[in-house]
Chains A and B, each alone.
Chain A
């Protein structure tokens, strides 16, 4: 990597790619980049308000489009002010085609990390070519289809986990009782899971998560009445369950174990927590985890057999979990994914990132500031060679009172702007 970058992360208003976006934001900052985040969820209230207007569907349709234009303009304004080297948009991010075109005109590259099954959405066909690169969690035929749709920079970028968040936890006895189980599943009630889990009733399966309503047989197994489980609680569930079941979702109940291609985030999160999981075999799994790192199944018969086996083999479970965590730490962090993405962009986008004229903050600051400034850079997550403008941006984003040195740096920045010369 040539230098720390300025990256604008655009979150979606809702949905599963939202936590992934936040993980990207943390990972990029931890790599020394200056990260600004567009908090689209903060606009969600306005969308809800539109739905309460009691107007015709045509007017509501018009207003929703207009609302999204405003949100997209807000992203554009932020980009124009922040002048990022890159805009990283998560799947379903409210970046309209119009604004993507404006970003391109302004020379600001954009990339979407489309952390979705491409078969469940079709909008990518229209949007992919408007980004400078398009990262996906599936390989073929998607990468070829991206090229056909006018996007030559398709990148396979599987999901990952955040070791700062998904980690082994020591739980209190109360928490263990609350969240623990011999066998548990956390996720939504997709058709294949609903059918499959009826065969697991005798193991005392606990089901966590939403969208399980309407199934009287499974209802007694569903915890908290199917309430949504927070990310923090999910880590506790993973850590206190002997056998975490991980069955990838399918909209079809015909094949319970679908053998699909992409690997879900839960696979990486469980591994990173050092929790034992039984996961269904996926086409792209073998290149991410070895057979001694994850216990897998390919059919319901095999699942039943392995549940019985692993419930009675705590030592074997612990060994699997340990190896899975080691592998996740070395290869499947969001930091690793962000490094891959940036390397890919450096290879594919000509002249990217553009050289900046900024001077190093440390070189620019007066001698008497430097000791404290060095600490400040570390505290802000910036590298020692961070540009002066990045330091100023990070300081401006700070809430509350600043120290005298911090305030002095902002003062010097304003002075430079006003007089256009270096402070000696």
Chain B
């Protein structure tokens, strides 16, 4: 069988979230090649030891000679199928290397940007992100059916003995807890990680934040804190994260890396971060999702609410629950979720003590389940058919050109 190529030129977290697709292809007996940004090559080697990794400089200035070499390699590989996962100019340009009939996802066909009905459907459910409930990893996996068993993607969450890890920030500052909010959370969570070592992770640009965090922690804890911000390569980062008891993190690439190793995650999701879309993949992780009227918002738009979604993380009720003490209710505007699997893939289920209290929250939870069932049966997953037909969802998510015109249908796809 001819090899297949997965083009994933986005960031760290996206590369980890491509795992279910790659696993499905591997289980179908395909030799998988990956095209990633050059800076992620060694990480790709850690995540996908059986894949052939190709690189281009997508996030830094390309070396013209090296670029040509990479593209020539790809052109000569004779791929039977190419999965181009992102609607982005760079990866669309790369898609020109291949016969358009072999490309799934997004491609340029004689200069015309095209996307599969499956990608178009995802665009439609993300128009209402609040009720869209499909994890990005499951969406990408849906480009090649049948998908790999979701529970085989990552190990179940279990402590590994290396203490608590703290990811300082994601790429978007508003989605992270600033040091003054983070410090009490770290203190509260220490018992969950055996009161052992605390390791701080992040890039060099997050070192000032790490220092500020340490300055806000009690002096008695400081000898346990190891600041690795800006001090690790991918392999050291992976080795350290793999050994943790727990990782406290916003929506970051490190979060996905911890899930890859089955390290329990306690994630804080606020602002534009929405755990139903990009939560940790695997069973047994915890997500604290801020839920305001405006959640999830647009990161690029100024916040008109005074970052109200951050305030819930200052509340004593939250700190008590985050530290595993008591079964009380979280503060208003915060929902605690635990990750698990359903027929479609990973799902965030509200757990005891954080059952949605408002009628609207319950209705939203029910609607997310309905969307998931529809998407599952759209992908040919039998369990999705147990739910009643949903004419309104079919109308919203499946548009006339999707089936009246001749387009690639993932379910009818023959690998």
Contact = CB atoms under 8 A, between A and B. Distances in A.
Contacts of A97: 395
A93 B391 CA distance: 18
Interface residues of B, number: 43
Contact of B406 (A15, A65, A129): A15
Contacts of A215: 1
B107 to A, nearest CB: 11
A52 B404 contact: no
Interface string A93-106: 11011000000000
A19 to B, nearest CB: 15
Interface in A110-158: 119-129, 141, 145-146, 148-150
B388 to A, nearest CB: 5
Contacts, number: 108
A64 interface: yes
B60 interface: no
Interface string A169-187: 0000000000000000000
A1 interface: no
Contacts of B81: 214
A293 B110 CA distance: 52
Interface in B359-394: 374, 377-378, 380, 382, 385, 388-394
B297 to A, nearest CB: 23
B378 A122 contact: yes
Nearest to B92: A57
B82 to A, nearest CB: 13
A92 B401 CA distance: 10
Interface in A299-346: none
Interface stretch (A188-196, A198-206, A263-271, A275-283): A188-196
A126 B404 contact: no
Contacts of B109: 51
A93 B392 CA distance: 20
Contacts of A129: 391
A44 B402 CA distance: 15
Contacts of B113: 56-57, 60
A188 B385 contact: no
A47 B409 CA distance: 17
B358 interface: no
Contacts of A47: 405-406
Given A47-B405, A68-B401, A120 B80 contact: no
Contacts of A55: 112
B405 A251 contact: no
A251 B411 contact: yes
Nearest to B111: A54
Contacts of B112: 51-55, 60
A141 B385 contact: yes
A150 B388 CA distance: 11
A60 to B, nearest CB: 7
A191 B394 contact: no
Contacts of B146: 251-252
B411 to A, nearest CB: 5
A141 B112 CA distance: 41
B382 to A, nearest CB: 8
Contact of A126 (B120, B380, B391, B411): B391
B114 A57 contact: yes
B351 interface: no
A421 to B, nearest CB: 46
Instruction: Find the residue from A55, A126, A129 having the highest chain B CB count within 10 A.
Output: A126
B404 A68 contact: yes
B404 A191 contact: no
Nearest to B414: A211
Given A129-B391, A213-B80, A251-B411, A122 B401 contact: no
A190 B411 CA distance: 11
B414 A120 contact: no
Given A120-B412, A214-B1, A94 B394 contact: no
B115 A54 contact: no
Contact of A251 (B2, B115, B145, B390): B145
A209 to B, nearest CB: 11
Contacts of B409: 120
B395 A126 contact: yes
Interface of B: 1-2, 80-81, 87, 109-115, 120, 145-146, 374, 377-378, 380, 382, 385, 388-395, 398-406, 409, 411-412, 414-415
Given A65-B400, A68-B401, A122-B377, 16 more contacts: A14-B406, A51-B114, A52-B110, A54-B111, A57-B87, A60-B112, A123-B394, A123-B398, A125-B394, A126-B392, A128-B391, A129-B391, A141-B385, A148-B388, A149-B389, A214-B2
Interface of A: 12-15, 44, 47, 51-57, 60-61, 64-65, 68, 92-94, 96-97, 119-129, 141, 145-146, 148-150, 188-191, 211, 213-216, 251-252
Nearest 6 A/B pairs, CB to CB: A126-B394, A125-B394, A149-B389, A64-B401, A54-B111, A126-B395
16 contacts: A54-B110, A56-B113, A57-B87, A60-B113, A61-B401, A65-B399, A65-B400, A92-B404, A97-B395, A122-B374, A123-B394, A125-B389, A125-B391, A125-B393, A126-B391, A149-B391
